[in-house]
């Protein structure tokens, strides 16, 4: 049932389609957490400043607190719950485990989703503000990773190991590409 204030939508999340009626003002973050029980995506600031709510929308990273659920209809949403392949962790998740890329873990789902997209951005040779020569493919350096991950804050200050984990995962991806 759809009213002027609510809309029936079909959301495709982690390969599954969900039909739900949402208030038109519902953010994608709230739809994921409160309607679909996908609580891996975290709410930090709820205003686009911390990156805790990062998910992938058609494989690109977005702050889901700034995205309306109705605007995600027809697009492929991937959350932290959708990254592993059964029991096998996604390579970025494994790198965070191997290199202790977290402390309390609250920012971690957003960090990992962001990192997955960063690695794809590097593979597509998209430059960043840290890229020295934009005519050449960006190198996988800690400086490049720090710049690209700068929208994901960590209150625990686990940045050193987060950057190491993302750099290692990005280098492994290059080797396996």
As a whole number of angstroms, the distance between CA 54 and CA 63 comes to 5
Question: Among 38-46, 78-86, 136-144, 165-173, which window interacts with ligand FES (CB under 6 A)?
Answer: 38-46
Q: Quick one: three-class SS letters along 105-137?
A: CCCHHHHHHHHHHHHHHHHCCCCCCCCCCCCCC
| Antiparallel, parallel or unpaired: β 54-57 and 76-78 | antiparallel
Q: Is 74 in the site for ligand FES (CB under 6 A)?
A: no
Hey, is 24 helix, strand or coil?
coil
Question: Among 46-54, 69-77, 83-91, 133-141, which window interacts with ligand FES (CB under 6 A)?
Answer: 46-54
CB of 138 or CB of 164, closer to ligand FES: 164
Q: Is 45 in the site for ligand FES (CB under 6 A)?
A: yes
Question: Among 76-84, 90-98, 105-113, 131-139, which window interacts with ligand FES (CB under 6 A)?
Answer: 105-113
Handedness of CA 106, 108, 111, 116 (dihedral sign): negative
- Residue among 25, 59, 136, 155 that touches ligand FES (CB under 6 A): 155
Judged by the rule CB under 6 A, the positions of this chain that interact with ligand FES are: 43-46, 48-53, 63, 65, 102-108, 154-156, 158
């Amino acid at each position: 049932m759809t009213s002027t204030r609510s809309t029936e939508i079909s959301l495709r999340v982690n390969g599954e389609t969900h039909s739900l009626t949402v208030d038109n003002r519902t953010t994608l973050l709230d739809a994921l957490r409160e309607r679909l029980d996908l609580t891996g995506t975290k709410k930090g600031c709820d205003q686009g400043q911390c990156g805790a709510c990062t998910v992938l929308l058609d494989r690109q990273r977005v702050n889901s607190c700034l995205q309306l659920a109705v605007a995600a209809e027809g697009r492929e949403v991937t959350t932290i719950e959708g990254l592993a392949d059964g029991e096998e962790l996604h390579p970025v998740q494994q790198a965070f485990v191997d290199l202790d890329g977290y402390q309390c873990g609250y920012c971690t789902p957003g960090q990992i989703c962001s990192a997955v997209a960063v690695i794809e951005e590097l593979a597509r040779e998209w430059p960043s503000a840290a890229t020295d020569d934009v005519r050449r493919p960006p190198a996988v350096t800690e400086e490049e990773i720090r710049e690209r991950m700068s929208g994901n804050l960590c209150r625990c200050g686990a940045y050193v190991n987060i950057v190491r984990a993302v750099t290692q995962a990005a280098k492994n991806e290059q080797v396996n590409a």
